[in-house]
Amino acid sequence: MDLKLFGEVFVTLLVIVDPPGMMPIFLALTGPLSARERNRAAWQAVALALGVIVIFAVAGQTLLAYLHVDLPALQAAGGLLLILVALELLTGKTDDPTKQATANIALVPLGTPLLAGPGAIVATMLFVQQGDGPADFSAIAAAIVAVMLTVWIVLRFSGGIVKVLRPGGIEVLTRIAGLLLAAIAVQLIADAIAAFVAQYNGAG
Side-chain-facing half-sphere of 139: CA atoms under 13 Å: 20
pLDDT of residue 20: 83
What is the DSSP secondary-structure string of 97-120?
GGGS-HHHHIIIIIIIIIIS-HHH
Instruction: Tell the burial category of 68 from Cβ atoms under 10 Å away from its Cβ (0-12, 13-18, 19+).
Output: exposed
Among 78, 82, 149, CA closest to 118: 78
pLDDT of residue 98: 47
pLDDT of residue 95: 54
Read off the pTM. 0.80
pLDDT digit of tens for each residue in the chain (204 aa)? 789 999 999 999 998 998 888 888 898 888 778 889 999 999 999 999 999 999 999 999 899 899 998 888 888 988 898 898 888 888 876 555 445 555 678 888 889 888 998 889 989 998 998 898 999 999 999 999 999 999 999 999 887 877 787 778 878 888 888 888 899 889 989 999 999 999 888 776
Domain containing residue 113: 3-202
Structural domains counted in the chain = 1
Instruction: Tell the burial category of 166 from Cβ atoms under 10 Å away from its Cβ (0-12, 13-18, 19+).
Output: exposed
